[in-house]
Structure 1
Amino acid sequence: MRSPLVYPRAVLRPRSLGLSFALVLAVVAACSGDAPSPPLASGPCIPPPRPGGASVTLAPALGDVKFSAPVDLVEGPGRRFYVVEQRGIVKVVSPNGGDPTIALDVSEQIVSGGEAGLLGLAFDPKFSENGFVYVYFTANAEGKPGVVFQDVVARITSSDGGATFDPSTLKTLLAVDDPFANHNGGHIAFGPDGMLYVGMGDGGSGGDPHGNGQNKDVLLGKLLRIDPHGGDPYGIPPTNPFAAGGGRPEIYAYGLRNPWKFSFDRLTGDLWLADVGQNKYEEINRIVLGGNYGWNIREGKHCFEARTCPTDGFIDPVAEYPRSEGISVTGGYVYRGSKVPALAGRFVYGDFGTGNIWSVDGFGETKGTLLTPSNLKISSFGQDSDGEVYVVDYASGTVKQLIAAGDDTSAPASVAGERLAETGCVDPRYPTRAPTRAIAYSVNSPLWSDGAQKDRWLFVPEGKKIGVKPDGDFDVPPGSVAVKTFTVAGKKVETRLFVRYDDGSWAGYSYEWTDDQSDALLLAEGKTKELPGGGTWTFPSRSECFACHTPSAGFTLGLEARQLNRDERGNVLDRFAAVLETPIAKEAFPPLAAADTAGASSEERARGYLHANCSMCHRQGSGAGAATLDLRIDRSLLDTRTCNVAPQAGDLGVVDSKLVVPGDPGRSTLALRMRAPDDDRMPPLATRVVDEAGASVVEAWIRELSGCP
C-alpha cells in the first residue's frame, strides 16, 4: 500500500466566477473556488480506488510500436502481425516489435477519413499456395449521382511470402455503392468453411433512411458470404439463404446497422459479431445462417422508433449495453489462450468511445462482465495462433495484450470515498471553496450544463508538474484530481471528481448531495433526478465520462490555455505558474470568447462556444463519425469540414440540409441539433434544457456567412 498523495499549497485561491466549459456533455473535470474565509481542510485529496482491472490488465505488445490510426490487426504467415492503417497502408511487424515495414500502400487509390479508408485485411486459407490477400476499402465513386463512394472488396497477391503485397495485382471482387459517408462496415474474415465473410454497413446517415437493413435485395446492412475460389469474380455458397432466389445470393445474415468486427471461435466455429447502435443500444450477436437481427425495426432487443414493433422472426443479441456504458461497440474474439485462464471460452469485446472491455459467455448471460476500463479508443482486437487477444488503440496507435492482472497498486491507499467528506477533495463546511492545497480556476467559455453554477479546482501532487501541449492543453500528471461542484437554484446538486491514477489511467466519479446539504454520496451508476424547484438533473455514469473526455481531447477539457487566459483578480493562468513544466506565453493563446462575451464578433463567440461544447468529440483523431468535422477554435472554416457538407447522422427531416448552409441556420444541422429534442440533441448527454444563448449565437454566425471558402 502506498502513502496518500501529497499536494502542494496553491499559489492563489481567489473567488471563482462559476460557469465552466469543461468536460464534455456535462461529464466531469474540474471546479472553481470561492472567496477565502475560515481555514479549510489542508489534507490530501484521496479519491476512490481505481475501478475495474480485477481480472485483466493490458500490457504493451509488438514492442509498443506506434502506428497511424490503426483499424485492424491480423496475424499472418510466420506469426508476423499485420496492422491496417486507415489511411491506406498495411505494416508488418514481428511479435517482439522492431521497425515495422510497409507491406502495402494504396493510400492514393482509396478515400479515407471519418469512417472511411482501408478497413479490413484477410489472408486466404491457401495463402502458402496462391499468395492471395483480401482487403476492404472505400473508393471514389467516380461521379455517380447519389453515391458518396464505393465499398470495395479486392484481392491482391504477394509473391514474397507476405513481406509485401503487389498493388498492380489488385483485382476488385465486389463494389457496393454507398449513399452516405458513414456506416461502411469494413471487416472481412475467412470462416472455418473456407468462405470469405464481409461486414456491410447500412449505407449511413441516421436511422437507415433507405431501409437497407431489412431489404434483402441490397447488400447494405448485411453480413455477406462469398466463395472467392468458386468463380470470377467469386462464387456463391449453395447454402446461402437466398442462393436460389428471394434476395441477393451473397447474403448470409441481415438486419444489421454497422457491423464493426466479427470473428469465429476457433474451437466451436461460432460466429460472433458486434453491431454499432444508433443512439441507445450496442449489441453483441451470435450470427446464424439466414438470421435477421432486427435493424432498423429494432435496436438491440428494443423497438427502434415505434412504441411497439414486431418480435417474430428477429434474433435477440447475446448481450447489449446502453449509452450509459458506451457509445460504439468493437467486436473481439472468444478467448482461447493461456495467459488469462478465467476468460477461457468467453467472448471479449470493447467500446471505442469509453474504452471499456467486457466478456460474455453467450450461454445464458445477457450482460457482459467489465474486465477493465482501459481509456483506449478501441478500434479493433486481434488474436494470435495461441488464442491470445490483443487490443488496438486508435488514439495512441499502439497495440496492447490482454494478460491476467496482478496486485493492483495503482489506486490510492485508502478505500474511502463513499462520502465526499472522506476524500478530502471537498470541505463539506465550505463546499464551493477550493481546499488549501488545490488550485481554484474558472474558464472563459463554459460548457452548457442546463444553467448550473459550477465551482472548480485541481489537485496536483507535490513535486509533480503539469505539461503544456503545443495547442495549450494541460497534461496533468498522474495523481491529479480535478473537482467540479454543480449548484442549481442555490442548492448543491452534484460534485464530480476526475482522477488520473498512477498508472496513467483516468476515472470519473459522481457524488450526489444530500437534501440537507451536509455531504455528498458516491453513485455507482448514472441516474436522473427531479429537482425540488422543477427540472431534471442527469448524473452521468462512470463510462459516460469518456464519451467526451477523449484521449484526443487530452481527457481534461477545461484545463487549457485559451480557457484559463482570463482576468479574475489576476490572470487565472498565473495560478498554475508554480506547477507548470514550462511557462506559458499568454499572447500565443488568445482567450476563448463565450456566447455572451461583450465586444466579440458573432464568429468569435460562436467558434468559442463550439470549441468549448463540441470539439472534444468533433476533432481530428477522435475517430468514427465524430472526426468528419473539426470544431476546434484554431481550425479555419474550410478545415472544420462543415460548410455545405452533408450531415452523416441524419438530416432531421430538413430537405437539402447541410452541416452549415451559409446564411441559412434553418437548413444547418449544426445549429438545428442544438435545439432538437431528446436523442437528436447535441450535446447528447446530461442536458435537458436548450442553451438559448449558445444556440442563438451559432445561428447568428451562420446567418452572417456569405459563402464557403
Structure 2
Amino acid sequence: MRKVKVRLRPIVNKINLPTVIKTTVLPGDFTERLFIATQVGEIFYIGNGEIRLFLDIRSRILKLGSSEPGVSGRGYDERGLLGLAFHPGFHINGLFYLHYSVVGTQGPGALSESFKPNPCDPKTLNLRWTNRDTQYDHIDTVEEWMFQSNGQPQKRRTLLNLRRPFFNHNGVNSLNFSPETGKLVLTTGDGGAGYDPFNLSQDEMEIAGKIIEIDVEKQTSIANPPVVTRFNELPIPIQETLTVIAKGVRNIPGISFQRYHNQYIKYVGNVGQDLVESIFSFVQYKPIPVTQIVGHGGGPTNQNGFINFGWRGWEGSFPTSTISGCTANPQLDEKVIAYYNEAIQTSVRRIQPLTSYFHKDPRSDKFEGTALTGVQPYMGTGIPALTGSVVFTDIARKEESLSPVRGALAFTTVRPDCKLSDFQVIETDYDFGPQSAYYVSLGTNLDQTRLFLGVYGSMNVTNLNQGTVFEVIP
C-alpha cells in the first residue's frame, strides 16, 4: 500500500478527555461548527475562532476514576459522557442525544474478583449474571435534549436506562444517526470485565454487546423508563421503537457510514481482548425488531442478514484465546482457545473483518496496537492518498522504543473481491515533546472531507486538562 504522511494542526488544547468529535449547524446559524464532548461531561464548540461551552452535565455524571475490582490503580475509567449525536434536522428542531453514566448509581459490580476463562473448568465457561438488581456497576442513560431558542439546552425525555455489570466496555462515540434509516444508532459494549464472562454479546435478549437502532420519531408516553438489562424488561411501547442490527460486539468506538453510489457501507471497529483489533464493514443487513426477539423468547432467530461479529467465541479472525507465558522461553507465549464450542457454533454465522491489526506484529512496516479508538471514512480530496479510504486510530503503540507513549493513525480500503484488506500506517510530523500522546478519538465533518484527532496526555480521566484536538491536514 502507498505511504502517507500528514500534519496535525492543533485546533484547541488544554481540554479534558475528548471522547466525541463531530460537526453540525446550530439552529439559526449557517456555519458548520466543530463540537467536542469530553468524558467528564462537557460539550464545547468552536465559534469565531474560540472555544465555547455548549452544555455542562458534569453534575449528572457519576464520580469517575475510582478504584474498581480487577483494575490496577486509580484514575482510568471507561464511564462518563460516552455518546453525542445531533438529529439530522438539528439546525431546525434543535434535537440532540446523549449517552452517559448516571451520578449516584455506583454499585459493587457483578463479580467480586477478576475473571479469566479456564477451558478445563466448566464453571468459568457458564457463569450467569444473577441478582442483577444489586450486583451491577452503574447505570447508563440515553436521553433526548433540545437546544432552545434562548440558547439553553434542556432535557426533553429519557429513551433508555441500562444497568451495566462492570465499569468498562460501555461503548464510546456510541450515538450516531444512520443516513439510511434516519434512526439513532446506539453501539453498546458487552458489559466489560474481559472475555464477556456471562456471554451477553451472543444472547439476543441481552442489550449488552449489540448495535441497536432507536426510532426517535416514535413518541412514547413513558416518562421514566425502567432500568433494564434485557429487552423483555422494557415496556412494549419502548420495545416498538427498537430494532437490533448486530450482536457479538465486545466494545465499539462508534459506527460510521460511507456513501457508495446509492447505498452506504457501514464500518464498525471491535476492540480486541489480547490478540487483535478488528474493523468490520457491511452493506446489507436485516435488523430484527425487538418485539420479535421478545416474542421469540430470546433464542437465536437465525435471520439471514442479521450481523454477528462473533465475540465471545471469536476475537476478529481468531478463536478467542487465553495467553500465558512460556517458562522455557520468555520471548514466546502459549495461546489456548478459551471457548472452543462457541467458536465452532458461530464460525459460519459471523462476518469476517475488513482488516485487522495485532498486539504483537513482527513486520517492520506495521505497529503493535493496544485498543481501537476510532474508525472514519475519508471522502475529501485534500489528502488524495486517503480519498475513499477508511482511517482508524489506536490509543497507544506498544513498541518498546516509543517512550513516551504515542498513539497510531492508519488506513485501509475495501477490496473489490471482499477479501481481508491490508492496512498502512499514516506518518505524522507533529512533535509532542516529552508528553505522552494517547490517540483517544477520531471524528469527521458532515461530508467526511475533514478528519479530527483527539489526543490526551494520560490514560487517567482524573488527570485533567491534558487534551488537544487536531485537524489532520496534508
TM bucket normalised to smaller: 0.5 to 0.7
> Higher strand fraction: Structure 1 or Structure 2?
2
**Match 1:369 to one of 424, 446, 456:** 424
**Match 1:134 to one of 68, 89, 97:** 97
Retained in 2: the 8 A contact 1:141–1:177?
A: no
CA drift at 1:261:
2.5
TM-score in terms of structure 2 length: 0.67
Alignment of 1:263-662 (within 5 A): 263-267=256-260, 268-287=263-282, 289=285, 290-305=306-321, 306=337, 308=340, 309-310=343-344, 311-324=347-360, 325-354=368-397, 355-363=407-415, 364-372=419-427, 376-386=437-447, 387-395=449-457, 396-404=466-474
CA drift at 1:379:
1.5
**Match 2:36 to one of 54, 75, 83:** 83
Amino acid in the other structure paired with 1:82: F
CA drift at 1:174:
0.8
Specify whether residues 319 and 247 from structure 1 end up closer, same or farther in structure 2 by C-alpha distance, changes over 3 A only. farther
SS of residue matched to 1:260: coil
Report the Cα distance in structure 2 between the residues aligned to 1:125 and 1:89, rounded to whole angstroms: 22
CA drift at 1:125:
0.9
Structure 2, gaps ≥5 residues long: 26-30, 66-76, 108-132, 223-231, 286-305, 322-336, 361-367, 398-406, 431-435, 458-465
Amino acid in the other structure paired with 1:283: S
SS of residue matched to 2:308: coil
Q: Would you say 1:121 and 2:164 are equivalent positions?
A: no
Report the Cα distance in structure 1 between the residues aligned to 2:57 and 2:241, rounded to whole angstroms: 29
2:300 match: none
CA drift at 1:248:
11
Report the Cα distance in structure 1 between the residues aligned to 2:220 and 2:350, rounded to whole angstroms: 34
Which of these two proteins has the greater Rg computed from alpha carbons? 1
Report the Cα distance in structure 1 between the residues aligned to 2:355 and 2:54, rounded to whole angstroms: 37
TM-score in terms of structure 1 length: 0.45
Amino acid in the other structure paired with 2:373: T
Q: Would you say 1:145 and 2:140 are equivalent positions?
A: no
Q: Would you say 1:261 and 2:250 are equivalent positions?
A: no
**Match 2:56 to one of 105, 110, 128:** 105
Report the Cα distance in structure 1 between the residues aligned to 2:440 and 2:153, rounded to whole angstroms: 23
Amino acid in the other structure paired with 1:341: P
Report the Cα distance in structure 2 between the residues aligned to 1:127 and 1:159, rounded to whole angstroms: 11
SS of residue matched to 1:342: helix
Amino acid in the other structure paired with 1:320: S
Q: Would you say 1:189 and 2:176 are equivalent positions?
A: yes
Report the Cα distance in structure 2 between the residues aligned to 1:248 and 1:129, rounded to whole angstroms: 23
Report the Cα distance in structure 2 between the residues aligned to 1:361 and 1:210, rounded to whole angstroms: 35
Q: Would you say 1:159 and 2:148 are equivalent positions?
A: yes
Report the Cα distance in structure 2 between the residues aligned to 1:369 and 1:232, rounded to whole angstroms: 47
SS of residue matched to 1:133: strand
Report the Cα distance in structure 2 between the residues aligned to 1:227 and 1:322, rounded to whole angstroms: 37
CA drift at 1:178:
0.2
CA drift at 1:381:
1.0
Report the Cα distance in structure 2 between the residues aligned to 1:233 and 1:124, rounded to whole angstroms: 21
SS of residue matched to 1:108: helix
1:220 match: 208
Alignment of 1:16-31 (within 5 A): none
Amino acid in the other structure paired with 1:202: D
Q: Would you say 1:68 and 2:31 are equivalent positions?
A: no
CA drift at 1:247:
13
Report the Cα distance in structure 2 between the residues aligned to 1:123 and 1:341, rounded to whole angstroms: 29
1:92 match: 45
Deviations, residues 323-365 of structure 1 (Å, cap 9, x unaligned): 0210100222111112101111100001012211111112245
Deviations, residues 178-229 of structure 1 (Å, cap 9, x unaligned): 0111111131100112111111010111110010110100110111111011
Retained in 1: the 8 A contact 2:186–2:213?
A: yes
Report the Cα distance in structure 2 between the residues aligned to 1:380 and 1:57, rounded to whole angstroms: 17
Report the Cα distance in structure 1 between the residues aligned to 2:375 and 2:196, rounded to whole angstroms: 25
Specify whether residues 367 and 298 from structure 1 end up closer, same or farther in structure 2 by C-alpha distance, changes over 3 A only. same
Retained in 1: the 8 A contact 2:307–2:350?
A: yes
Specify whether residues 247 and 153 from structure 1 end up closer, same or farther in structure 2 by C-alpha distance, changes over 3 A only. closer
CA drift at 1:53:
11
**Match 2:218 to one of 219, 230, 235:** 230
Report the Cα distance in structure 1 between the residues aligned to 2:203 and 2:446, rounded to whole angstroms: 37
Report the Cα distance in structure 2 between the residues aligned to 1:247 and 1:217, rounded to whole angstroms: 15
Amino acid in the other structure paired with 1:399: V
Specify whether residues 280 and 258 from structure 1 end up closer, same or farther in structure 2 by C-alpha distance, changes over 3 A only. same
Report the Cα distance in structure 2 between the residues aligned to 1:53 and 1:138, rounded to whole angstroms: 42
> Higher helix fraction: Structure 1 or Structure 2?
1
Report the Cα distance in structure 1 between the residues aligned to 2:94 and 2:134, rounded to whole angstroms: 37
Identical columns (%): 28
SS of residue matched to 2:91: helix
2:324 match: none
1:515 match: none
Report the Cα distance in structure 2 between the residues aligned to 1:332 and 1:303, rounded to whole angstroms: 23
CA drift at 1:142:
7.0
Amino acid in the other structure paired with 2:159: L
SS of residue matched to 2:160: strand
Report the Cα distance in structure 2 between the residues aligned to 1:232 and 1:315, rounded to whole angstroms: 35
Residues paired across the two proteins, number: 338
Report the Cα distance in structure 1 between the residues aligned to 2:7 and 2:134, rounded to whole angstroms: 46
Report the Cα distance in structure 2 between the residues aligned to 1:127 and 1:352, rounded to whole angstroms: 31
Specify whether residues 372 and 119 from structure 1 end up closer, same or farther in structure 2 by C-alpha distance, changes over 3 A only. same
CA drift at 1:54:
4.7
Retained in 2: the 8 A contact 1:217–1:248?
A: no
Q: Which runs of 4+ in 1 moved over 4 A?
A: 246-249
Report the Cα distance in structure 2 between the residues aligned to 1:280 and 1:164, rounded to whole angstroms: 46
Specify whether residues 160 and 339 from structure 1 end up closer, same or farther in structure 2 by C-alpha distance, changes over 3 A only. farther
SS of residue matched to 2:201: helix
CA drift at 1:300:
0.6
Report the Cα distance in structure 2 between the residues aligned to 1:341 and 1:197, rounded to whole angstroms: 30
Report the Cα distance in structure 2 between the residues aligned to 1:83 and 1:233, rounded to whole angstroms: 32
Report the Cα distance in structure 2 between the residues aligned to 1:361 and 1:164, rounded to whole angstroms: 42
Report the Cα distance in structure 1 between the residues aligned to 2:240 and 2:308, rounded to whole angstroms: 13
CA drift at 1:367:
2.4
Retained in 1: the 8 A contact 2:215–2:242?
A: no
CA drift at 1:160:
3.7
Amino acid in the other structure paired with 1:393: V
Retained in 1: the 8 A contact 2:371–2:394?
A: yes
Amino acid in the other structure paired with 2:89: K
CA drift at 1:370:
1.0
283-292 vs 175-184, greater mean Cα deviation: 283-292
